[in-house]
Amino acid sequence: MLILCDVDGTVVDNNQLVPDSARTALAQANANGHILMLCTGRSLPEVYDFLWDLGFSGIVAANGSYVKIGEQVVVDNRIPAELVPQVSKYLEESGGTYVWQSPDKVNASDGAWKVFGFTTEEQVLAAARGSHNWEKQPASHGGNWQAYIRQVLPYVQPGLPTDPNKVTFTLAATSPVTLNDMRERWGDYFEVVDGSYDPGNGSRGGEIVLKGNTKASGMLAAAKYLGVGIDQVVAIGDSSNDLEVLEAAGLGICMGNGTAAAKAAANWISTDIHDDGLANALRYAGAIA
């Protein structure tokens, strides 16, 4: 089987930790000969090295706009350079912050790190060094995100990119713009997806990729490249950007901590991530005993 696992809320929790039961189950599934791939909204710079140690041999990244299996890049759909400043200006005028993401870099707007509760660049650097006081961290993003900040910071570059796959954005609670407004404005060019996280404080998160790119399109490209029939594809996820892949896979499984929409899109609902959710999902799929 080809098994695609979402990252946040499926493999790692809000503290960026992998439950022991998930580690064991993934190792067993890998030993049983199944192909494991990450299937995430994250771009490559956001993917921890330790995730590859769990047995994953490929990734559907940036909501399907980038697919890599082993050393082979199967899909790499970039947003045209001329649209980047237009979208950036729109987000800024809409009261939003944003992070442009490419396979080798990250370009963040001023204030983008506030979604993690940081108010100054010095706090971000302290978090990367490991000297930030997380116990006093505001709960705007939930959990301990030190590992994420340390992972991403080396890839951060100034200015706007010319070849991103995706942009993640956060709209302030005071912004009158809705995600539906954005879809109406940009729908001819992009997929605008609800964010896979809750920024808190009434803010709203979302993600933008080129039109036609979803986790499902990435999954189909991966399955075709590997020669795996759709009936042998399992997708496991928990949030809004997992809906299409949960519906398109031969078997779609939603984590018990998933959203109502993700649960409705799935064929089966597992337990919570902290209640052996991923292990139970792999067991139900027949990947482990």
Considering Cα of 131, then 135, then 139, then 144, what sign does the dihedral take?
Answer: positive
Query: Can you give the pTM of this predicted structure?
Result: 0.92
Domains of the chain: 2-76+214-285 (3.40.50.1000), 82-210 (3.30.1240.10)
Q: From first to last of the 289 residues of the chain, give the pLDDT tens digit.
A: 999 999 999 999 988 999 999 999 999 999 999 999 999 999 999 999 999 999 999 999 999 999 999 999 999 999 999 999 999 999 999 999 999 999 999 999 987 876 566 666 666 666 656 665 544 444 444 567 778 888 988 898 889 999 999 999 999 999 999 999 999 999 999 999 987 666 667 788 899 999 999 999 999 999 999 999 999 999 999 999 999 999 999 999 999 999 999 999 999 999 999 999 999 999 999 999 9
Model confidence pLDDT, tens digit, residues 186-219: 999 999 998 766 666 778 889 999 999 999 999 9
Strand order in the sheet with 233-237: 72-76, 66-69, 58-61, 35-39, 2-5, 233-237, 251-254, 268-269
Closest CA to 179 of 197, 167, 161, 191: 191
- The string of DSSP codes covering 173-241 is TT----HHHHHHHHTTTEEEEE-SS---TT-EEEEEEETT--HHHHHHHHHHHHT--GGGEEEEE-SGG
